[in-house]
Amino acid sequence: MKSETKRPLDVLLRAVANPIIALILAFLLSGLVVLISGDDPMEAYAAILQGAFGSKSNLINTVRYMLPILMLALSFTLCDSCGYFNIGQEGQMYSAVVTMAWIQHAFGGAPQWLLSILLVLGAIVAAGIVSLLPALLKHTLGINEVVVGILLNNIMLCLSDYMIRYTAIAELNKSVAMSIQIVPTFSRMSLLIASVVIMVAYTLIMRNTVPGYRLRMVGSNPTFSKSNGLHVIRIVLIVSFIGGAFSGLAAAGETMGIYHRMHSAYANGMGFSGMTAALIGKESPLGMVLGSLLLGALQSGSVNLTVSTSVQAEIVNVIKGFVMLFATVNLLQYFRGAKKEAAK
């Protein structure tokens, strides 16, 4: 009984401690890089912190970057929970935004409420299909989903770039390639509320429902799940589509809340950020929120970094890389395990 009472505390400790440990180690190594380049690491860190949380507008900007990362973290974590490594999130986002541009082109005269629904549904379906393809090929032809996902990222990038240059959704007479304007608008507050609702629903479903239990069981032991009558392949395919739907929601929020257009390399690096936040979270909702907030803060703070210091914004990508590296290793569990071994 004693271990049972400690279990929730252990989960909370992992959710909070893992991001902190990964962040500290990443900043130490990144600071060493900054120091070698001849700049002041503490000045760089202070600039990032000021740019992320130094004012109300900076905080709002941090949350703005955080929300799509959180949706992509959910996308990766949900698929990973059932044994499907969803690395194709950027391709899913490209497909979602291109689909939204075509819907705007075809139904631009529809009432705004109806057009908004069509745009969100189109983004969800398009991203879900692109996410489904690697899972389908894996379970029918035995092709590794990571390879297919990476290839699809490149294919969708090139395809979307072609479409915003040479098709009916291209915006003419612009100095850079972009799509036509996607008119309906979501406020930032509505995006925040929707993200909170999605996060709460995800947590409740995964922890307190039969489908959530079955999904986790398939991920932990597919052979045992199959012997107990579960349709493992069907579950994986459904989850892969839903995981892609989260990528579609991230794209819809970015498009209808911020940019209102598709441009070249629209989602460049976003899949990497979502995966990093998921790895930081270790499948813990709280950990994913903290990881997404951390990466959103780095993205927001990078603007102030280049303005107020001589350190280049690329150092933020170095920090992200180190965070992802250390997040892949459950350092807290390692240290606790080593302590137990020493106690024996």
Q: Write out pLDDT tens, residues 21-70.
A: 777 888 888 888 888 888 888 888 888 888 889 889 999 999 999 999 99
Give me Rg for the CA atoms of the chain: 21
* Helix pair 270-281, 285-308: axis angle to 10 deg: 130
100-109, 206-215, 238-247: which range is least confident on average? 206-215
- The 10s digit of each residue's pLDDT in 129-139 is 999 999 999 98
User: What pLDDT is attached to residue 7?
Assistant: 56
Q: Mean of the pLDDT values across residues 148-176?
A: 91
Q: How many degrees, rounded to 5, is the angle at CA 219 between CA 146 and CA 9?
A: 115
Task: Say if CB 288 and CB 198 are below 8 A apart.
Answer: no
pLDDT on residue 128: 97
pLDDT exceeds 60 at position 341 = no
Measured in degrees and rounded to the nearest 5, phi and psi for residue 340 equal -65, -40
Q: To the nearest whole number, what is the mean pLDDT of the chain?
A: 86
User: pLDDT tens-digit profile of 244-270?
Assistant: 999 999 999 999 999 999 988 788 889
**Three-class SS state of 178:** strand
- Structure confidence at residue 100 (pLDDT): 97
Backbone phi and psi for residue 201, each to the nearest 5 degrees, phi listed first:
-65, -40
pLDDT > 80? residue 333: no
3-state DSSP percent of the chain in helix, strand and coil, to 5? 80, 0, 20
Provide the pLDDT for residue 335: 46
Q: Indicate if the pLDDT at residue 13 is higher than 70.
A: no
Q: How confident is the model at residue 344 (pLDDT cuts 50, 70, 90)?
A: low
- In this prediction, residue 11 has a pLDDT band, given cuts at 50, 70 and 90, of low
Average pLDDT over residues 102-123: 95
Residue 253 DSSP SS3: helix
Give CA–CA dist 330/11, Å, rounded. 13
* pLDDT at residue number 16: 67
pLDDT (0 to 100) of residue 217: 87
Q: To the nearest 10°, the Cα dihedral for 140, 143, 145, 146?
A: 180
Q: What's residue 338's pLDDT?
A: 44
Q: Report the pLDDT averaged over residues 306-319.
A: 81
* Across 3-7, 112-116, 137-141, 312-316, least confident range: 3-7
CB 233 within 8 A of CB 83: no
pLDDT of residue 24: 83
Confidence class for position 10, pLDDT limits 50, 70, 90: low
User: What residues contact residue 231 under an 8 Å CB cut-off, 6+ apart?
Assistant: none
**pLDDT above 90 as % of the chain:** 46
Is the pLDDT confidence value at 177 over 60? yes
Burial class (CB in 10 A: 0-12, 13-18, 19+), 46: middle
* DSSP calls for 305-331: HHHHSSS-THHHHHHHHHHHHHHTS-H
Task: Band the pLDDT of 167: cuts 50, 70, 90.
Answer: very high
